[in-house]
């Protein structure tokens, strides 16, 4: 009876590598590549003269694919949002998966504004925007009320896009809970994440259209 041939290991390893290159899911590609590297290791070690160089590289490739597979697995675990985070997703990012929502929230900060606290000051440049989750903010110019902002509205969006200093004041008339993003940080993140940028741009368009409609309705009643 012939003894077991180490060649079976390299054949099996290459078959698994062929399968790895055939799948579309990156996690499965990593797992098959990991299995291929592990199965190739005995082939190099069982040669009459062990082939230490390819043995070492197979160990390195196995370690890399193991790490990347674990990272991909962690990224795909279900994400549970808090009630405030879920509300932000509902208001502005309903087209994004929860994990992406957490990413965009991680570059901002939660703020609270008490009744009477100023969120925009006339004459000052806008360096950040705030998405209102709860509460109400009143916009005024020379003591004339221009309208109110509520849940889902963004404080400072139009001024940020135009780059001009604020020509109005925005003051909380109810306790406000909001997510605030620094403009420079948000712009860098959106440039690197086109999917999130498209969702944010759609919400900004709806936000500006809603403000214009409310402003026209308010002026027509005065």
Query: Any idea what the CATH number is for the domain that residue 211 is in?
Result: 2.60.120.10
pLDDT digits (tens, 9 = 90+) for 92-125: 998 888 888 999 999 999 999 999 998 888 888 7
Domain hosting residue 145, numbered range: 83-220
Asked whether the beta carbons of 170 and 146 are under 8 A apart, the reply is: no
Tell whether 46 and 149 lie within a shared domain: no
The pLDDT, as a whole number, for residue 105 is 94
Tell whether 68 and 175 lie within a shared domain: no
Helices assigned H by DSSP within 21-165: 26-45, 52-76, 83-92, 98-106, 157-162
The pLDDT of 41-65, averaged and rounded, is 92
Tell whether 120 and 187 lie within a shared domain: yes
pLDDT digits (tens, 9 = 90+) for 146-193: 888 899 998 887 666 666 677 788 899 999 999 999 988 988 998 999
What angle separates helix 194-220 from helix 83-92, to the nearest 10 degrees? 70
Tell whether 90 and 66 lie within a shared domain: no
Tell whether 68 and 121 lie within a shared domain: no
Tell whether 30 and 50 lie within a shared domain: yes
Instruction: Tell me the three-class secondary structure of 94-130, residue by residue.
Output: CCCCHHHHHHHHHCCEEEEECCCCEEECCCCCCCEEE
Tell whether 62 and 105 lie within a shared domain: no
Within-domain flag for 2: no
Place of tokens 């675990």: 77
Within-domain flag for 53: yes
Structural Rg of the chain based on CA atoms:
28
Calculate what percentage of the chain has a pLDDT beyond 90.
44
pTM of the model: 0.65
């Amino acid at each position: 009876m012939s003894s077991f041939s180490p060649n079976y290991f390299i054949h099996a390893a290459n078959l698994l590598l062929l399968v790895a290159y055939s799948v579309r899911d990156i996690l499965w590609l990593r797992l098959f590549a990991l299995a291929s590297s592990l199965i190739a290791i005995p082939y190099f070690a069982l040669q009459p003269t062990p082939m230490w160089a390819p043995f070492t590289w197979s160990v390195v490739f196995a370690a890399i694919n193991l790490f990347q597979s674990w990272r991909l697995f962690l990224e795909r675990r279900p994400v549970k949002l808090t009630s405030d985070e879920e509300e932000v997703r509902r208001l502005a990012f309903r087209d994004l998966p929860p994990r992406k929502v957490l990413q965009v929230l991680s570059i901002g900060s939660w703020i609270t504004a008490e009744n009477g606290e100023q969120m925009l000051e006339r004459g000052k440049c806008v360096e950040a925007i705030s998405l209102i989750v709860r509460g109400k903010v009143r916009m005024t110019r020379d003591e004339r009320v221009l309208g109110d902002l509520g849940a889902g509205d963004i404080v400072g969006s139009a001024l940020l896009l135009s780059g001009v200093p604020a020509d109005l004041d925005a003051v909380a008339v109810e306790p406000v809970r909001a997510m605030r993003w620094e403009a420079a940080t948000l712009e860098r993140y959106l440039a690197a994440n086109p999917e999130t940028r498209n969702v944010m741009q759609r919400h900004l368009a709806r936000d500006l259209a809603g403000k214009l409609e409310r402003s026209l309705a308010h002026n027509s009643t005065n």
